[in-house]
Structure 1
Amino acid sequence: MGKFFAFLFFLAFILVLFFIPACKKNQQEKPYLGYDYFPTEPGKWVIYSIDSIAYSDITGTDTIRYELKELIDSHFTDNAGRPSQRILRFTRKSANVNWKLSDVWFSTSTESKAEKVEENIKFVKLIFPVRKGKIWDGNAFNNLGAEDYQYNQTHTSLTINNLTFDSTLTVQQVESFNLIETKNYKERYATGVGLINKEVIDIETEVNGTIKRGFKFNQNILSYGE
Structure 2
Amino acid sequence: MNRTFSLLLVVLLMIFWACDTDTIEPDEERLGTTFFPLSVGSYSIYEVENIDYKITGEVITSHFQRKVAVVDSFENQAGTISYIVHYSQRDTEADPWEFSTAWTARKDGNQVVLIEDNIPYIKISFPIETGKTWNGNALNSLDSIEYKMDSLYSEYITPAQDTIENTLTVIQENDEDFVVDLNRKYEIYGLNIGLVYKEDVFLQFCTDTDCLGQQQIEVGHEYRQYLTVYGSE
TM-score (normalizing by structure 1): 0.83
1:189-222 deviation line (CA, Å, top 9, x unaligned): 0011100100011010122111000101001111
Find the counterpart in structure 2 of residue 147 from structure 1.
Answer: 145
Matches within 5 A, 1:200-211: 200-206=200-206, 207=212, 208-211=214-217
Moved more, 161-170 or 121-130: 161-170
Hey, what's the Cα distance between the residues in 2 that align with 1:101 and 1:195?
Answer: 20
Moved more, 162-171 or 95-104: 162-171
Hey, what's the Cα distance between the residues in 2 that align with 1:181 and 1:165?
Answer: 32
Find the counterpart in structure 1 of residue 17 from structure 2.
Answer: none
Find the counterpart in structure 1 of residue 163 from structure 2.
Answer: 164
Hey, what's the Cα distance between the residues in 1 that align with 2:55 and 2:35?
Answer: 40
1:85-121 deviation line (CA, Å, top 9, x unaligned): 0001111011100111111011011220001011221
1:35-57 deviation line (CA, Å, top 9, x unaligned): 10011111111000111111112
Residue 30 of structure 1, CA deviation: 10
Find the counterpart in structure 2 of residue 110 from structure 1.
Answer: 108
Letter in 2 for 1:175: N
| 1:97 alignment partner, SS class | coil
Moved more, 142-151 or 57-66: 57-66
Residue 31 of structure 1, CA deviation: 8.1
Indicate conservation of the 8 Å contact 2:129/2:152, yes or no: yes
Structure 2: unaligned runs, 5 residues or longer: 1-26, 207-211
Identity %: 26
Find the counterpart in structure 2 of residue 51 from structure 1.
Answer: 49
Matches within 5 A, 1:30-109: 32-58=30-56, 60-109=58-107
Find the counterpart in structure 2 of residue 125 from structure 1.
Answer: 123
| 1:224 alignment partner, SS class | strand
| 2:31 alignment partner, SS class | coil
Structure 1: unaligned runs, 5 residues or longer: 1-28
Find the counterpart in structure 1 of residue 228 from structure 2.
Answer: 222
RMSD: 1.7
Indicate conservation of the 8 Å contact 2:57/2:218, yes or no: no
Letter in 1 for 2:219: R
Indicate conservation of the 8 Å contact 2:35/2:190, yes or no: yes
Hey, what's the Cα distance between the residues in 1 that align with 2:28 and 2:113?
Answer: 25
Hey, what's the Cα distance between the residues in 1 that align with 2:128 and 2:150?
Answer: 11
Find the counterpart in structure 1 of residue 194 from structure 2.
Answer: 194
TM-score (normalizing by structure 2): 0.81
1:160-200 deviation line (CA, Å, top 9, x unaligned): 12332111000000111321111000000001110010001
Indicate conservation of the 8 Å contact 2:28/2:34, yes or no: no
